[in-house]
Each structure stands twice: as C-alpha cells, then as structure tokens.
C-alpha cells in the first residue's frame, strides 16, 4: 500500500483510511462442500491484499463473491460501501477483473482482444493501445491471442482488466504456471499498478509471492480465514524462529527424536524433495551443535521463518500448494 492511503494534511496527526472492500460472515456451499465458511475481510483503499492457501481452500469462490460474479449464501459484502450483488452498475467501472487467459476469443488478435474489452466500457482505442504498450505487448498486437506465451497471455488478461482504469483490481492466480522470469516481470507490473494507488486483491498458491508483493495476506484453509496480517508481522509472531536444514540421510531417527524433545524445537520434517530435513527452532545453537557432533551438517542452510512456517503453525501441517 504505497500511495493509496488517504493521508491527513500535515500537522493533524490523524490518518483517514477508507475501506475499499468489506466482507462480513460470507458463506457459500456447493452441495456437500462448504467452500466458504464465514469469511470476513476488511481491505483498505490502496492495499495490496493476498488471499492465499492450498488447493480447494476457497480462494477463488471468495474472490468471485467479492467481484460480484457469484452470489453468496450468506454474508455482507461492500465495495466502496456498495453491494456487488446483484450486479451493481455503479461498481462496474470501478472494478477490474483479470479473466483467465483461456477465456479469450481464439480468433481475435491481441489488439482486437483489448479493443473488445475497452469497448465494454466505452474506452477509446488510444487508451487501449496505451495499455497494450504498458504491458509490453505492442509488438504482439497482430498476433492471435491464443498464440501468445503464458506470460504474454497473462499480461494481456491483466491489461484487459485494467483498460478502463479501475480502482480495485481482482486477480486470480495471475502467475500460475509461469516460468520464474515471467513471474518476476508480472510482479513488477502488479507492483506498479498498486503504486498508482489501486487496490489489488490477488489469490495465490505461492507463499513467496504473497510475502514479496502483499501489504497484508489472509491465510485460508477449508473455507475459513485462519489469520490476516502483514507477512512480516505474521512471521514476527513466530518469535524469531529459524529453520535449520540439512541432508536428512545423515541423521538417524533417534537423533531426530532427541532433537524434537529438546527445548526450542518447534517441528522437524523431511521436505518434499525427500532429502532435506528441516528443523524449526527458536534456539539454533544447540540444534547445530547436535548436528555437528553427528557430522550431519552436509547441505546446511539456516534461514529466517517464512509464511510457510506461519501456515504450519496455524494448521499443524506442512503447506502443500
């Protein structure tokens, strides 16, 4: 949230912050599945907010309800004080939705696609061209939209959601499936869009992405928001925990149990690669000393806690996107 907050004039000492989005007690059920189970959110104007969680946590359903494209079973939602459901014409120009790239018309070029989206809002071709330029796609204007690479298609879909200059932008896993370079390029774009004072709400599987981009995140699991806060604040609540990792083959299970029993060890697990033993602790000294005694320091890494550790602490289980 870099520029979007409404600051009080100098000397008054009071900062007025208006809510862009308020959700209260939102529920949505699909048959037997309670997809969203009492979600409440308060997202400030200009905030970059991440809704994160593993598959099936209820992120997309929550986002669609906020966007006003899905009706909640229960709960109150307001965008700038207006309900988005049923379809609210007063809000349409003020919100932008990044559509999944797969929903483009396959016979339209990149330029025709953004012109089409621009026409929905009576936005002229000059503004549409400028937006295409902004996302670096001018030279691909004549290319059929379905021939763009994954990163280019995502940039086009974001451009289509931004072309009418909305105040709130909703993005559903905008970097899913992109290579690392394309992800980084997209992060730069999203940061710029937020710096202009727009409110961004993004869902993501990637905890590192949320940690890097978002002012605040809401961690979701099983339809509920487990916690909301600034990534750094959530991590700080873990009380200076660090994660010590080594190659697991070097340490016997007995030693591991001993470590787990010792003071300050929060948890120890073998990571997805099947090789790395990862130990979360508040006192890395004794842990490192036991590992050194056992000559089990191969592959040693010591790093600060991350949002993965926050998730582990909130749910008691490892984060698996």
Ligand X SMILES: Nc1ncnc2c1ncn2[C@@H]1O[C@H](COP(=O)(O)OP(=O)(O)OP(=O)(O)O)[C@@H](O)[C@H]1O
Shortest distance in whole angstroms from residue 17 CB to ligand X: 28
Shortest distance in whole angstroms from residue 130 CB to ligand X: 32
Nearer to ligand X, 254 or 272 (CB): 272
Q: Around 313, how many Cα atoms within 13 Å sit in the side-chain half-sphere?
A: 18
Those residues with Cβ within 8 angstroms of residue 250's Cβ, 6 or more apart along the chain or in another chain: 294, 295, 296, 297, 298
Nearer to ligand X, 53 or 231 (CB): 53
Nearer to ligand X, 61 or 194 (CB): 61
Those residues with Cβ within 8 angstroms of residue 254's Cβ, 6 or more apart along the chain or in another chain: none
Nearer to ligand X, 110 or 218 (CB): 218
Going 127 to 130 to 135 to 136, the CA torsion angle's sign is positive
- In the numeric block, the tokens 């787990």 are attached to 260
Contact present, 2 and 195 (Cβ < 8 Å): yes
Contacts 24+ apart (CB under 8 A), 179-187: 179/150, 179/151, 181/151, 182/149, 182/150, 182/151, 182/154, 183/151, 183/209, 185/136, 185/151, 185/155, 186/151, 186/154, 186/155, 186/158, 187/212, 187/213
Q: What are residue 96's DSSP bridge partners?
A: 169
Nearer to ligand X, 4 or 53 (CB): 53
Shortest distance in whole angstroms from residue 104 CB to ligand X: 20
Going 210 to 194 to 155 to 72, the CA torsion angle's sign is positive
Nearer to ligand X, 69 or 292 (CB): 69
Shortest distance in whole angstroms from residue 140 CB to ligand X: 28
Shortest distance in whole angstroms from residue 178 CB to ligand X: 16
Contact present, 21 and 41 (Cβ < 8 Å): yes
CA distance 132 to 110: 9
Shortest distance in whole angstroms from residue 63 CB to ligand X: 8
Nearer to ligand X, 35 or 307 (CB): 35
Rule CB under 6 A: which residues touch ligand X? 30, 33, 35, 53, 55-61, 205
Shortest distance in whole angstroms from residue 76 CB to ligand X: 19
Neighbours of 165 (CB within 10 A): 14
């Amino acid at each position: 949230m870099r520029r979007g907050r409404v600051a009080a004039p100098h000397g008054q000492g009071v900062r007025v912050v208006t809510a862009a989005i308020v959700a209260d007690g939102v529920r949505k059920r699909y048959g037997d599945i309670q997809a969203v189970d009492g979600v409440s959110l308060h997202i400030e104007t200009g905030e970059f907010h991440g809704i994160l969680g593993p598959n099936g946590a209820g992120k997309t359903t929550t986002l669609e309800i906020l966007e006003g494209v899905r009706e909640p079973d229960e709960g109150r939602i307001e965008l700038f004080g207006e309900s988005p459901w049923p379809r609210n014409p007063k809000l349409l120009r003020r919100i932008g939705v990044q559509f999944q790239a797969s929903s483009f018309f396959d016979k339209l070029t990149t330029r025709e696609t953004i012109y089409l989206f621009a026409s929905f809002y009576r936005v002229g071709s000059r503004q549409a061209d400028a937006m295409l330029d902004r996302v670096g796609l001018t030279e691909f204007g004549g290319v059929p939209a379905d021939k763009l690479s994954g990163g280019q298609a995502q940039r086009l879909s974001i451009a289509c959601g931004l072309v009418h200059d909305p105040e709130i932008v909703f993005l559903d896993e905008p970097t899913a499936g992109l290579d690392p370079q394309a992800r980084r390029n997209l992060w730069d774009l999203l940061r710029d869009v937020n710096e202009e004072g727009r409110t961004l709400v993004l869902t993501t599987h990637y905890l590192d992405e949320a940690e890097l981009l978002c002012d605040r995140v809401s961690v979701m699991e099983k339809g509920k928001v487990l916690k909301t806060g600034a990534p750094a604040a959530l991590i700080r609540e873990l009380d200076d925990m660090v994660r010590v990792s080594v190659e697991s083959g070097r340490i016997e299970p007995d030693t591991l149990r001993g470590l787990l029993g010792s003071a300050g060890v929060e948890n120890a697990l073998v990571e997805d690669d099947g090789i790395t033993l990862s130990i979360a602790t508040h006192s890395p000294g004794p842990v490192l000393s036991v590992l050194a005694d056992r000559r089990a320091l191969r592959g040693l890494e010591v790093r600060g806690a991350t949002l993965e550790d926050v998730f582990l602490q909130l749910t008691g289980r490892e984060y698996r996107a």
